[in-house]
């Protein structure tokens, strides 16, 4: 009987295929291809000849011995352009600002799962559509400066306690790019943020400067494409306003001089941004303009300190109030303290109250110390010598004519002159000092034992490009033009709607 050597016809199990192993005919291996693990039998000797590639058997060296089941899906996290994905891989991918989950239906590298909402069905299948926008990278450093260059994908805490902040958006953007801003100190109502659009559109508009000015505001924007540009997905329409820059002069009422060897009245506070910067008014908002009265004159018997002038201001939604303080009243003999504090300080009297009042930094100046000094002016302090003149005011050409405002009143008794800008002369008996001109912000002169005149009332002037002037005013201001600008001169309180 013939003998059969079964070893010559048996298969040899070699386990998982390895590229460094030498295989011979009838060796059996397990190999995973296209996410399927199958068994293959060698039909020829080989080394580093894979049994199958992308589902196609390498028939020169191998035969499919037993087809395996599909390997379960593997979650490979966020899709990456450089990663080679195999069939059944699961990834998360952001398209049009939405994070969704996709399943690979074929091997690929660099094939995005979706573009502008359309799935790349040759390689991917949408298995879970996202509902939340892209997660942001919140910056740990609190923004406190006057400027910020924002990057897509970031969130920022903006602290405007000390100053407003201008935020420059990216010069280029992709659909779905998202940026978020939060009012860190709840001060945007005092110091707002404005957006520099870097030539891109915002809410479908171009060439605007959006301003956000509500306390505790939270602003989230997403880029939608060239037509509409950046869209605010979390804001209040009333806070997304176009703004127009204006220049202003705000002068408060001047103080009245003291009676009884009195000091001169201090000038009203003087504030202006003319020729240096602009105040941004939100289009559609109404702004209040208040013109302060001059301090009322006082009688000489009994000896009486002068009265402070009243404040002038511009106020409204989205701006920090521009407030000039009324001038200080002049001092009077034997009354303490001496001159009163104000926009500019009131002048001193005779002993024992020989101290002049203090002015407000950035608005006016102090009155000099001594006997019967003049009131401080917006331009200079009065001298600390007996019987001094009032300090000169400042000149402004905001309405097209160079004019002095906010001069201090002269010291009483010696006939000292008032400062340029409505300050009147101090006088001796039996005369009373004159009132300062209306809308000058000047202080009235002091007097010996007779009455003093009123301080001059203030004034508010707004200068705005004529192309932006709405004509919506109250309070009967005088409206003129100078070059390409319109000048609104308020000599009494009123409003302006931008």
pLDDT tens sequence across 36-56? 777 788 889 999 999 988 878
Q: pLDDT tens digits, residue range 406-418?
A: 999 999 877 899 9
Q: CA torsion, points 91, 92, 94, 99, in degrees to nearest 10?
A: 150
What's phi and psi for 239, nearest 5 deg? -105, 0
Structure tokens at 321: 């109030």
Tell which CATH classification among 3.30.160, 2.10.10, 3.10.20, 1.10.3470 matches the domain 74-128. Answer: 2.10.10
Q: How far apart are CA 283 and CA 211, in angstroms?
A: 10
DSSP string, 267-306: PPPEEE-TTT--EEEETT-EEEEE-PPPPPP--SSS-BPP
74-128 and 137-239 share one fold: no
Q: pLDDT tens digits, residue range 311-344?
A: 999 999 878 889 999 999 999 887 666 899 999 9
Looking at the predicted structure, is the pLDDT value of residue 97 above 70?
Answer: no
Give residue limits of the domains in the chain.
6-66, 74-128, 137-239, 242-498
> Mean pLDDT, to the nearest integer, of 371-395?
94
Question: Residues of the chain with pLDDT > 70: what percent?
Answer: 90
Looking at the predicted structure, is the pLDDT value of residue 362 above 70?
Answer: yes
Spell out the residues 6+ positions from residue 440 whose beta carbon is closer than 8 angstroms to its own: 251, 254, 393, 405, 406, 407, 421, 422, 456, 457, 459
Q: pLDDT tens digits, residue range 247-283?
A: 999 999 999 999 988 999 999 999 999 999 888 888 8
Structure tokens at 240: 């997304």
Q: Domain 6-66 - what CATH class?
A: mainly beta
Fold of 137-239: Jelly Rolls (2.60.120)
Q: How far apart are CA 70 and CA 76, in angstroms?
A: 17
CA 203 to chain centre: 18
Q: How far apart are CA 406 and CA 223, in angstroms?
A: 51
- Is residue 317 within 8 A of residue 334, CB to CB? The reply is no
Q: How far apart are CA 348 and CA 456, in angstroms?
A: 19
Min mean pLDDT across 78-92, 160-174, 430-444 is at 78-92
- Is residue 306 within 8 A of residue 254, CB to CB? The reply is no
Q: How far apart are CA 12 and CA 298, in angstroms?
A: 121
Pick the more confident residue, 240 or 170.
170
**Model pTM?**
0.58
């Amino acid at each position: 009987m013939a003998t059969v050597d079964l070893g010559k016809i048996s298969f040899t199990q070699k386990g998982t295929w390895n590229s460094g192993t030498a295989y011979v005919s009838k060796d059996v291996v397990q190999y995973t291809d296209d996410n399927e693990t199958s068994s293959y039998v060698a039909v020829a000797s080989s080394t580093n000849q894979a049994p199958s590639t992308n589902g196609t058997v390498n028939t020169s060296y191998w035969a499919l011995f037993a087809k395996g089941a599909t390997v379960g899906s593997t979650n490979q996290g966020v899709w990456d352009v450089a990663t080679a994905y195999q069939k059944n891989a699961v990834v998360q991918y952001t398209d049009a600002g939405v994070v969704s989950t996709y399943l690979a239906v074929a091997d690929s590298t660099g094939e995005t799962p979706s573009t502008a909402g359309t799935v790349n069905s040759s390689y991917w299948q949408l298995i879970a559509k996202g509902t939340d926008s892209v997660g942001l990278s919140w910056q740990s450093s609190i923004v406190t400066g006057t400027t910020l260059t924002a990057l897509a994908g970031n969130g920022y805490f903006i602290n405007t306690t000390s100053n407003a902040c201008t935020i420059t958006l990216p010069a280029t953007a992709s659909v779905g790019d998202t940026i978020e801003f939060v009012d860190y100190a709840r001060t945007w109502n005092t110091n707002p943020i404005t957006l520099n659009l870097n030539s891109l559109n915002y809410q479908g508009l171009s060439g605007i400067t959006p301003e956000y000015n509500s306390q505790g505001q939270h602003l989230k924007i997403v880029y939608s494409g060239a037509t509409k540009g950046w869209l605010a997905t979390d804001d209040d329409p009333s806070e997304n306003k176009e703004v127009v820059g204006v220049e202003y002069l705000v002068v408060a009422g001047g103080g009245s001089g003291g009676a009884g060897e009195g000091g001169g009245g201090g000038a009203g506070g003087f504030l202006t941004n003319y020729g240096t910067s602009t105040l941004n008014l939100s289009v559609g908002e109404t702004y209040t303009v208040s013109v302060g009265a001059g301090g009322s004159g006082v009688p000489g018997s009994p000896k009486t300190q002068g009265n402070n002038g009243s404040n002038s201001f511009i106020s409204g939604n989205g701006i920090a109030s521009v407030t000039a303080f009324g001038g200080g009243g002049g001092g009077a003999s034997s009354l303490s303290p001496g001159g009163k504090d104000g926009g500019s300080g009131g002048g001193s009297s005779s002993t024992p109250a020989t101290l002049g009042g203090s002015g407000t930094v950035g608005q006016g100046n102090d009155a000099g110390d001594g006997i019967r000094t003049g009131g401080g002016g917006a331009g200079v302090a009065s001298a600390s010598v007996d019987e001094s003149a009032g300090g000169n005011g400042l000149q402004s050409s905001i309405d097209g004519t160079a004019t002095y405002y906010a001069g201090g009143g002269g010291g009483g008794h010696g006939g000292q002159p008032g400062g340029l800008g409505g300050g009147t002369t101090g006088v001796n008996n039996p005369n009373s000092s004159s009132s300062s001109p209306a809308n000058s912000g000047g202080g009235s002169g002091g007097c010996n034992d007779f009455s003093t005149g009123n301080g001059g009332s203030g004034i508010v002037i707004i200068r705005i490009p004529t192309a932006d002037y709405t004509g919506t005013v109250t309070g009967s201001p005088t409206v003129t033009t100078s070059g390409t600008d319109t000048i609104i001169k308020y000599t009494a309180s009123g409003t302006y709607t931008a």
